[in-house]
């Protein structure tokens, strides 16, 4: 387990670089945190550190967005907040995405816990101040 203090938005690129190093061997990254904790904001910084040049936004209604990293590999960004059941994730082919070997960034993973394989990286964001966050990286 690793803890990263993020005192303000200016510290996001450095925190994203630390997470990028922790990604080695992980294709599923789950983001936990209360509404407004900064999950999507952190994902934007992480994608920028991976070379994504297009706009990164929450796939709240589409459930999944696809971006391309610096090596032109896909990155899948999921937001399962609005799911009524894990079946909806199955209906969009979530398991195929998870099995693809490409990076999957998952917001609100608790809504589909039963579908997630045990091998994943968990990032937990906690609000510690107006723009400060604590990020815990665990397996």
Per-residue pLDDT tens for 69-96? Answer: 999 999 999 999 999 899 999 999 999 9
Residue the block writes with tokens 């929450």: 58
By three-state DSSP, how is residue 111 classified? helix
Closest CA to 2 of 21, 27, 25: 21
Q: Domains of the chain, with CATH numbers?
A: 2-138 (3.40.50.300)
Asked if 46 and 22 count as a contact pair (C-beta separation under 8 A), the reply is no
H or E element, residue 87? helix 86-91
Please report the pLDDT score of residue 24 as a whole number: 87
Q: How many residues are given for the chain? A: 139
Q: What is the DSSP string of 112-137?
A: GGGGS-S--EEEEEEE-SSS-EEEEE
* 115 φ, ψ (degrees, to nearest 5): -90, -15
Residue range 11-49, pLDDT digits in tens: 999 999 999 999 988 999 999 999 999 999 999 999 999
Alpha helices in 28-74 (DSSP H): 39-49
């Amino acid at each position: 387990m690793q803890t990263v203090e993020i005192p303000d938005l200016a510290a996001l690129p450095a925190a994203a670089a630390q997470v990028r190093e922790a990604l080695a061997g992980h294709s599923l990254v789950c983001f936990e945190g209360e509404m407004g904790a900064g999950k999507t904001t952190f994902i934007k910084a992480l994608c920028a550190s991976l070379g994504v040049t297009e706009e990164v936004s929450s796939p709240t209604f589409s459930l999944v967005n696809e971006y391309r990293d610096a090596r032109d590999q896909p990155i899948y960004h999921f937001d399962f907040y609005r799911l009524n059941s894990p079946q909806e994730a199955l209906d969009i082919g979530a398991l195929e995405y998870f099995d693809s070997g490409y990076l999957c960034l998952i917001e609100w993973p608790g809504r589909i816990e039963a579908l997630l394989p045990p091998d994943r990286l968990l990032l937990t964001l906690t609000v510690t101040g107006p723009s400060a966050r604590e990020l815990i990286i665990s397996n």
